[in-house]
Amino acid sequence: MAAVSPKERVVVVSQSSLLVFLYIFLYFPIFFIIYVSFVDNTVWPFPPVFTWEWYERLWIMSDFHLGLLNSFLIGIGTGALSSIFAASAAIGLLKYQSRLRGLFAVLYLSPLFVAGILIGISSLMFHRNILGLPGNLTSAILANTTQALSFAFLVILAQLTRYDWRMDEAAMVFGARPARCFWEVTLPTIWPSVLGAFLVSFILAFNNLEVTFYNVGAIPTLPTIAWGTLRHGIEPELYSLATVINGLVFFILIILFFLIRLGFVRLGYRGQ
């Protein structure tokens, strides 16, 4: 390797320091919570005394079990609705060239600019007063979908802009009706973005507090329980809860990563 001039060395060192700093900034709070969830003295956890106590307490708190299940259901429902609606919206927007397409796109995206708490309150009013829906899981799923749809729409739109719609024309000329066309040609090409939209809206709804809080009634979800326990100060069980959820998400991502690396899952086709 060629000799590195002092000037280059300065550049390399400063760039690496910035990189390290950014990662610490991003991950320190998360790793700190994981660390604290395993120690006895949570207020000032140095030097550490390791314990499983917070996990044991979390395990026996039945509220959390129910909350986990409900959050999961809200996530699944919202993910499914958002990705289906967002896919239809993005396909419609791109397939039918309209002069108003910019306006349509902004209308789909505008929930991004509205505070979550406003979506929560207005959904509550709308569901109760107009639809006559009581606060429950259905209401929470619908309310979360209004928010998650915008994110899902962005994710799908990003991939769909690269989709060649003449592919659909080709399928039609060769005898495929529009529905067949979608299943045989469009969906197999764009499904990674639909899956991505599902995951994003699942996670948003799973973790959501402000929208869910107003619409779920008295049904517990993980974020509403966590919010409720705050009244008694931050309980160490919350650290272990955060760790478990983070751990689950990382676990799923790692499995996905290896499935893709080892070729068990193909995320769409690979072009040249």
Partner 1 sequence: MSAALPHHLTSLQLRDIAMTEPALKLEQVEKSFDKVRAVDKVSLEVNTGEFFSLLGPSGSGKTTLLRIIAGLETPGNGTVHIGGRDVTRLPPYARGIGMVFQDFLLFPHKIVADNIIFPLKMQRLPEDKQKEQLNWILSLVRMEGYEDRYPHQLSGGQKQRVALARGLVSRPDILLLDEPLANLDLELRKEMEVEMRRFQAELDIPFIYVTHNQEEALTLSSRMAVMHNGKFEQVGAKLDLYNNPKTRFVAAFLGSPNYIQGQIKRMEGTIAILDWRGLDLRIPAPANATSGDKIDYFLKHERILIQSLRESEPAKGENRFEGTLRDIIFKGQHSAYFVVLENGEELVVNAATEMPSLKIRHAVEVGWLPEAGDAFLKEED
* 271 near partner 1, judged by CB under 8 A: yes
Contact range with partner 1 by CB under 8 A, out of 180-188, 215-223, 225-233, 242-250: 180-188
* 94 near partner 1, judged by CB under 8 A: no
Q: List, in sequence order, every beta strand (DSSP E) within the chain.
A: none
- Separation of alpha carbons 175 and 247, rounded Å: 48
* Helix/strand/coil for 61: coil
Determine contact, residues 93/163, Cβ cutoff 8 Å.
no
Determine contact, residues 237/54, Cβ cutoff 8 Å.
yes
Nearest one of 252, 259, 222, 248 to 237, comparing CA atoms:
222
Contact range with partner 1 by CB under 8 A, out of 20-28, 125-133, 136-144, 168-176: 168-176
Identify which of residues 65 and 180 has a Cβ nearer to partner 1 in the complex: 180
Name which of residues 185 to 244 contact partner 1 (CB under 8 A): 185, 188-189
Contact range with partner 1 by CB under 8 A, out of 53-61, 161-169, 212-220, 231-239: 161-169
Identify which of residues 72 and 165 has a Cβ nearer to partner 1 in the complex: 165
Determine contact, residues 68/237, Cβ cutoff 8 Å.
no
By rule CB under 8 A, what count of residues binds partner 1? 22
Sketch the per residue contact string, 249 through 268, with partner 1: x for CB under 8 A, - otherwise: -------------------x
Q: In whole angstroms, how close is the CB of 177 to partner 1 at the nearest point?
A: 6
Q: In whole angstroms, how close is the CB of 80 to partner 1 at the nearest point?
A: 23
Q: For partner 1, which residue of 61, 176, 195, 256 counts as binding (CB under 8 A)? A: 176
* 183 near partner 1, judged by CB under 8 A: no
The tokens for 26 are 């991003």
What are the two backbone dihedrals, phi and then psi, of residue 13, each rounded to the nearest 5 degrees?
Answer: -65, -45
Number of residues that this document lists for the chain: 272
* 172 near partner 1, judged by CB under 8 A: yes
Contact range with partner 1 by CB under 8 A, out of 59-67, 99-107, 177-185, 207-215: 177-185
Q: How far is CA 260 from CA 251, 267, 268, in A?
A: 14, 7, 11
Contact range with partner 1 by CB under 8 A, out of 40-48, 59-67, 175-183, 200-208: 175-183
What residues form DSSP beta bridges with 39?
Answer: 50
- Separation of alpha carbons 202 and 252, rounded Å: 13
Q: CA Rg, the chain, in Å?
A: 23
- List residues binding partner 1 (CB under 8 A): 164, 166-167, 169-177, 180, 184-185, 188-189, 268-272
